[in-house]
Amino acid sequence: MATVSARNPADRLTEEQVLLRDTVRQLATERIAPRAAEIDRTATFPEDIRQLLAEQDILGLPFPVEHGGVGGDLLTVCIAIEEIARACATSSLILIVQELGSLPLLLAGTPAQQTRFFPRLASGTALAAFGLTEPEAGSDAGALRTRAVRDGDTYVLDGTKRFITNGSVAGLITVFAVTDPDGPKHRRLSCFAVEVPTEGFRVERLEHKLGIRGSPTAELAFEGVRVPAANLIGAEGDGFSIAMATLDRSRPGVAAQAIGIAQGALDTAVAYARNRRQFGQRIGDFQMVAAMLADMDSQVEAARQLLYTACLEIEAGGPEVARWSAMCKLIAGDTAMRVTTDAVQVLGGYGYIDEFPVERMMRDAKITQIYEGTQQVQRLVVARALLGRPGS
């Protein structure tokens, strides 16, 4: 009889990825987890964690080696995000948005633009932000109104961006604006690398939020902001397709964040169920609690395996990139919400108070169902891949 050798689950990862995962896990456990509750309570951007991630070259992961980065592929970046999010979702967002804000340049920037901007982003000296959403344009990103008008060697930007993560701490914002108001919806927009601070740029306000409370979510005003024409990313009219291509590649990062949050909540719930005793026994020995933990573990692992496959499919660049990207975020976001809610339940009253991290994790999980496209939008993307656009 042929022997079937037991397969090490880590085999899906390269040796370097396993090493990175273990290193980031240790860093997150020792240096980030002890800060997480305070970051949440004070709702302040964790500058110390930004520096730590920069020093450890973690912020350099998404950038090419020739520009001072580490040259990590999508799965490598996602592994790092998951491990940070397991300790602190806010901190994981620093890496997520460093990649998100830089993706327009990674995907469509010229070599000259990459040479100009990447070294300081890869070293973490400057943070990036992604400026798509506006008060009247959320899911319907093609409807945004910020204008960019060409004037000689510059474009002049006027408009408002809302809910921009790291908008108040970034040095470079990739901003989407209308260059052809009468053009077809998918050709109206262009994308610009805007270096801030600059004249006419203001942070109008920061939002108070349910979760990821240390991550600044900014409303940004652009009033006559002059951007060199050399900072146009791609060609005029490419903005919408650059935004969509960016989201196809960045949604796995949100999925990784969701999986990290869920794993962190599961770890806490298991530890608690081993120790807490009621009716003379460990609560983990009650079948109803044990089943809950088994479901949580299975769901987290399923979401993780889908994410790994999605990363490989996206990296391979097949025709179904949008579907894989949307599916992994959809499943991971819903998993995070379910698992963190169940973790609170396993801890009973202690789950509901901030002595334990699961209530924070439950609040943090919710955003993964909303940003970079809501779960409804992910379903639209998957359904379109199956059925084509409505009426087609």
Where on the chain is the footprint of ligand FAD (CB under 6 A)? 130-133, 138-139, 163-165, 209, 217, 367, 370-374, 376-377, 380
Q: Of the candidates 296, 301, 381, 372, which has an alpha carbon nearest to the alpha carbon of residue 339?
A: 296
Q: From the CB of 1, what's the least distance to ligand FAD, in Å?
A: 53
Nearer of residues 60 and 131 to ligand FAD, judged by Cβ = 131
Determine contact, residues 19/192, Cβ cutoff 8 Å.
no
* Interior/surface letters 276-303, b for 16+ CB within 10 angstroms, e for the rest: beeeeeebbeeeebeebbeebbebbeeb
CB of 165 or CB of 257, closer to ligand FAD: 165
372 noted as active-site residue: yes
Residue closer to ligand FAD by CB (options 139, 198) is 139
CB of 373 to ligand FAD, least distance (A): 6
Cα angle for residues 327, 333, 336 (degrees, 5° grid): 135
CB closer to ligand FAD, 52 vs 100: 100
Q: By Cβ distance, which residue is nearest to ligand FAD?
A: 138
Q: Whole-angstrom Cα distance, residue 380 to residue 368?
A: 17
DSSP 240-252: HHHHHHHHHHHHH
Token pair, residue 369, equals: 């169902």
Q: How far apart are CA 331 and CA 309, in angstroms?
A: 13
Tell how far CA 105 is from the center of its chain. 17
Options 99, 134, 359, 372, the catalytic residue:
372
Question: What is the Cα–Cα distance from 328 to 114, expressed in whole angstroms?
Answer: 29
Least Å distance, CB 377 to ligand FAD, is 6
Whether the CA torsion 303, 371, 37, 77 is positive or negative: it is positive
Q: Is the dihedral of CA 131, 137, 141, 146 positive or negative?
A: negative
In whole angstroms, the minimum distance from the beta carbon of 105 to ligand FAD comes to 15
Phi, psi of 158 (to 5 degrees): -135, 130
* Closer CB to ligand FAD, 179 or 268, in the complex: 179
Least Cβ distance, residue 54 to ligand FAD (angstroms)? 19
CB of 133 to ligand FAD, least distance (A): 3
Helix, strand, coil percentages, rounded to 5, for the chain: 55, 15, 30
* Closer Cβ to ligand FAD, 139 or 278, answer by number: 139
Q: Which residues are catalytic?
A: 372
